[in-house]
Chain A
């Protein structure tokens, strides 16, 4: 009841003109920032913080909420249209979104992505509003051993992506694992693969790798065959009406996954999206269609990565533990306005906290409205002359990467990965396993070593908690069930299964 009172008290505050304008502006900026390769929500908000010094807290926070939600959706736009995920969380959207666009279903894919994102964000915001304190307790239950299993669970996704050519897929995975090892080893302080370069000491930023591998090769492709034969994808106008009913179970499942992963610190929207796509594919009896343009394969990751947004703020606001880089920056924004995150925040400034949480909900709806208008315009990207599009993508990637750390080194590194990615594509080596390995490899390694440090080297510690067992069961299910199914069918059907 207390919570409802606080919500009622905060409601009038967020419907002031300034806050509404801030939310609309924030959402639009967020979608743009998310859609541009190299730029992410973290950066958008970080850049914004100094500008909000003089604003009222809720005006600033409304804008932050808009950017955060908008960017998560925005990342799917180039993922679908150009197979360039705008943010790391958009990588799983490429799997089915781009094939859909190639089949001429770009508007449909964008629509599915938008609706799924908005629903994910809204569910997440409701979870934040109503369940924040009880859910926060889950965040603390996760120990190093559980993180290790979770990272392994994520790695099973890589196994799925290997389907067509395991040798090439593993090559790409190894590349990712090596890239993930670069930098100062967090456990001993030793420098690994830094070649005496100061710029490599803090490792290779995931956005640098992602942008290099995913934004540059398509740009080179566009430039090379500028008289695009297959690029002029037909845009199918007929399929404007879709039946949403089959999506409802996808949304329910993916939202829950997104919220849970959001609550667990150190896991972000990228992990949520990948796991949701994998789970959706696993559970669908018709799973051959995934990776070839299945709309549900767009709905699952987009719903999950948006369901991650407000959920990440649950431990951040209630415990002061930011679960991701974005959440950390948002805590910075709160701090600037004299709001110290943690248990006392809800006690001391309830109307602002609840107001902020409400803006997370309202911007989910705003995102849907703005996205609907925008979608018509976005699709025209496909019609843009490729001679223009290619240099534009490269420019944006360069500017975006430079702005992360004001580092020219990272720009060169990104371009290097771009050439590498182009080479990999020509050789038919998939690039997605490399990116997933960079996200999950260091997490698996560090949490395993941390767990063994705590236990003093005893491996029992890895199977001590019930959370570990649940995740182990999920891993077993993902790996064994398809095998078992295939054995039962005992008929070698179409070539490309797992």
Chain B
């Protein structure tokens, strides 16, 4: 079981309030991702749940029990840190055994759990090495191994993939998702990378300056961002936000059109402009279109085969059914 409830939780460091009153429920077995730009309070929020920071006011409940003043070790949570926080002087085996040793489990039971965790994470061959002799991905797996042997009611991940290179990150993303499916344990995952959030989450919590901007499944956030911030943050490349007379045509202060919802043509369309930089990814082409009169630049995602060169004139047509409309307050107009 691992249902985590935050009830009017606040956190202040001295005078500055980093987390204003915040309510959130993380359901049992859910993969929840906290996402937001750096400094938005997402790591602080995770540390509050872990108990590494005291909350200033409010209440944290784990499985319905008040955990506000429970020390971290007694909350039944396991945490994977950004730096992995492996103990450098201990072998992989000792690292994974550490929480079991602290729980005074007998040696045979310890070994059984370590072997099982090592087998699940492909670490069996590395059990007697020191962390310093492992690659980044292996260290990451040791950190996860140390977390799973405790059989926690929830896992907390603090930007665990940010120290890995791009290829490894994709692999580890899959492994963590796989692990979540297998264990069906609550996972809370902090990242600044919206791609990680979109690909892994059951539920995304978008944070800005300690405020929850929106909570929802990845597709909910993609299809119906609640405000301009979420609209700009979720989706890659970023949504084009256009205001002025073009937005007024749609009875909105600002309209948002995703790059993938714009059709391109060399001869006709609603908007026209000059092609700037084009990024060919093979499967897709990202075109940066200037001089449309709609703002500084419009990003368009077109098929891999389009053939526009720098300075070509291009015509753009947004898909009418997926234009997002926002009012003067930045909130979505239904």
Q: Do chains A and B interact in one complex?
A: no
